[in-house]
Amino acid sequence: MMPKLSAYRVAWNPRSQCYDVCSFNGKEYSVLPFTPGSSAWFDWLATITSFSFSSRHGARCTVRKESARRGGEYWSAYHRQRQKMLKRYLGRAANLTLAQLEEVALLLSPEPRSSVKIDDSSPGAARSPRPGREPAGANYLHNDLLEARLQMPHLPATLLMRPHLVAQVQEGLQRALTLVCAPAGFGKTTALLTWAKAHPEQRIAWVSLDRLDNDPIQFWTYVLSALQRTWPQIGTSLLAWLRSPQSPPLSAVLRHLLNALASVQEKLVLVLDDYHLITAAAVHQTLSTLLEHQPAALHLVLLTRQQPPLPLAHLRAQGHLYEIGPRSCALASLRLCSFFKRRASLYQRRAFSLCLSVRKAGLLVCNWQPSPCKITQIRFILCKLFLGNISMSWLT
């Protein structure tokens, strides 16, 4: 007798490397137009009573909505193992995240499903997986990481020094988190690179993020790899956990990471560039856990174009947050004129083919990239400089 198919399913898609939310129409499953963790996901949870869950590691369970005796509703996960029905409490819908579903599905899985046994007291005690096929979606973790994303970018050749920003970044080390939030082109990355060059003694772990890092396993694989390069004692066994065909819950990995960082005496700086590309709630949740229990030896720097959904208000109230915004990154008029006067002869023959991004908040030329747009604005600026008729009023 064929098992009855669930009306709704949340399953890992190895092709797109993400989870699909599907509904069964009587013949086949169709993918719904939202992802777990989004606002539409929580609206959907309010309209259904159960769904099946299949993790990236092959662990499965059935998730059901139940009513509390004193009113209200909560979710539980079920899995039949032989003749016994196992149950795990998940909590209310607001707590129903992918990280929690993966962890509970792994706990409910029968013992033979696990190809790697892990002793929680010793993160390095993982055994080699048995020969055979690995779960779908696990192979990409065994590929080499993109090395360029773990290295600090090169400073631009035409660098405009901004010592006030370097001083602000250095001052932010006294807090737990430095948040550099400004639009594109304001020199956020350049400011951190300038500070790193001015303080070569500082241990810095750098990760340049992209959209694929919305997968929590890949995100923390890059973070642990960057930390290991800076401090080799950190991350070796934890990376083995994440690279195993059936990795343990991220909560266990983070717990051992925090314990390892607590034993470090020297200050470590972890820089996450382009954090605005991270939209997955599971990644934000795990990073919030790190911030909540952050050891004194670790300082986190986030470079982003928008405010991240992290507990910033709580950190700000406790004095653990240092913020660098657009006003600090914007270029003052005097520095802009100084920049052009030093380079006027270099760009004079191409004055009518160069351009500069002109913003009301300030004119920024930290990363000089000629482009064919806004030619009229650059003509006006350069002609003023070349003719010696420099006025500060039109720049403000």
> Rounded to an integer, what distance in angstroms lies between the CA atom of residue 77 and that of residue 178?
39
Query: What's the pLDDT score for residue 131?
Result: 35
Residue 356 and residue 378 in contact, taking contact as beta carbons nearer than 8 Å: yes
Residue 219 and residue 283 in contact, taking contact as beta carbons nearer than 8 Å: yes
pLDDT tens-digit map of 283-310: 999 999 999 999 988 999 999 999 999 9
Looking at per-residue pLDDT, the higher value among 286 and 239 belongs to 286
Quote the DSSP letter at residue 187: -
> Rounded to an integer, what distance in angstroms lies between the CA atom of residue 308 and that of residue 178?
12
271 has a pLDDT exceeding 70 = yes
Domain boundaries, the chain: 8-111, 146-329, 333-395
pLDDT tens-digit map of 18-41: 889 999 887 888 999 988 888 888
Q: What is the average per-residue pLDDT within 185-209?
A: 90
Q: Which residue has the tokens 């139940």?
A: 66
> Rounded to an integer, what distance in angstroms lies between the CA atom of residue 138 and that of residue 245?
6
What residue type is 327 in one-letter code?
R
177 has a pLDDT exceeding 90 = yes
**Mean pLDDT of the residues in the chain:** 75
| Structure tokens that stand for 72 in this block | 């209200």
pLDDT tens-digit map of 316-343: 999 999 999 887 776 654 455 555 555 5
User: Which CATH number, 1.10.472.50, 3.30.365.10, 3.40.50.2300, 3.40.50.300, labels domain 146-329?
Assistant: 3.40.50.300
257 has a pLDDT exceeding 60 = yes
pTM for the model: 0.55
Query: What's the pLDDT score for residue 22?
Result: 92
Quote the DSSP letter at residue 220: H
Contacts of 82 (CB under 8 A, 6+ apart): 110
Query: Nearest Cα to 98, choosing from 229, 241, 285, 226?
Result: 285
